[in-house]
Amino acid sequence: MIRFLKTTAALMLSLILMLLCSCSILEGEPAIISDEQAALLTKPSADEDAVVYSSSTAITPVNSNGVWTINYPTSPAQRLEDGSLKSFETLRQLNPDIVGWITIPGTVIDYPVVKGADNDFYLHHNIYGEENKNGTLFIHYKNRIEPDYQSPVLIIFGHHMHSGVMFEDLMQYDITSNPDALEFYRNSGVFTYNGLYDEGAWVIYSVMKINTLDEHGPVFRFMVSDFTSEQTAEYQAYIDETRARSVIDTSAVVDVTVNDRIMVMSTCSYEYDNFRTIIVARKLRSDETSLDLNKAKRAENPVMPEIWDITY
């Protein structure tokens, strides 16, 4: 009965937060718009965001009941003189801030990704530079994207829109709120992100609930994009923290080392004020051709924010 009352109180708290509050910006991280604003939004029409990316040489993941086969291109991707992929040529004529394209199967996430001069502009502007409450998926402005260097931690922000667009679908990986999260993970846990200088498939290995306010307990400072060659211990500690905090256990699916590049996708949550749901993925290595996501399971004792442990 006590657990039932605590759970009921937690659900009531979540509903109140959904109605009364919106996420604040954490060092320029996207803030979710109010429910009143969201209610005015509709999903974009087919013509509204008619931006298309395609690459004939792209890596292609294929799913068969949770077992993924990764098909790699047999010919190298075409490049421009500056080293960037030719597949981005037309997109960058549209907007030179476009630096990637992300596609997650089983979701509406099939979008260009931009990198601005700060973490503010693309909160409320689309890829055309027009004001838009959906904003645009964008990379942390501190991320380095260069022909001969890519930040080891790629951080992407996106709004959690009630209309279903942008990063709202990331919530389906959250096993604390979606009882079918493991099934969803099996079918949507591998995806493609093609950057300005490289194409790649990625596998999700962590789903975290993060507090950003000190009053809710110690804060995991996840917005770190670069670790030098002398900071391997720090990078390993960062990776270990993302695994310890994951609400799904993927240790039997994929390993992660300091030699890997990882992606952090952040969107707002409603459980508490300024909460985040964060999905972390690892870029697949060139010799990885098969993954069995059926081995994933619910984590037994993930590290959760202190306020979560008190409420739930």
Q: What is the pTM of this model?
A: 0.84
Tens digit of each residue's pLDDT (9 = 90 or more) over 59-89: 899 999 999 999 998 888 899 999 999 999 9
212 vs 31, higher pLDDT: 212
Question: Cα separation of 153 and 263, whole Å?
Answer: 6
Question: Cα separation of 141 and 116, whole Å?
Answer: 6
30 vs 122, higher pLDDT: 122
The dihedral over CA atoms of 54, 60, 62, 67, expressed in degrees to the nearest 10, equals -140
Residue 239 contacts residue 226 (beta carbons within 8 Å):
no
Nearest partner of 101 among 92, 39, 93, 152, judged by Cα: 92
Tens digit of each residue's pLDDT (9 = 90 or more) over 79-116: 999 999 999 999 999 999 999 999 999 999 999 999 99
pLDDT at 116: 95
Residue 82 contacts residue 147 (beta carbons within 8 Å):
yes
The pLDDT > 70 percentage for the chain reads 82
Tens digit of each residue's pLDDT (9 = 90 or more) over 173-218: 999 999 999 999 999 999 999 999 999 999 999 999 999 999 999 9
Residue 202: how many other CB atoms lie within 10 Å: 24
SS3 18: helix
**Order of strands, sheet of 67-71, starting from the edge strand that comes earlier in the sequence:** 60-64, 67-71, 290-292
pLDDT range class, residue 57, cuts 50, 70, 90: low
In single-letter form, the type of residue at position 216 comes to H
Q: What is the mean pLDDT of residues 10-28?
A: 41
Q: What total number of domains does the chain contain?
A: 1
CATH code assigned at 116: 2.40.260.10
Residue 17: how many other CB atoms lie within 10 Å: 18
In single-letter form, the type of residue at position 251 comes to S
Question: Tokens 């990379």 map to which residue?
Answer: 139
Range of the domain at 78: 2-41+49-311
Q: What is the mean pLDDT of residues 157-174?
A: 88
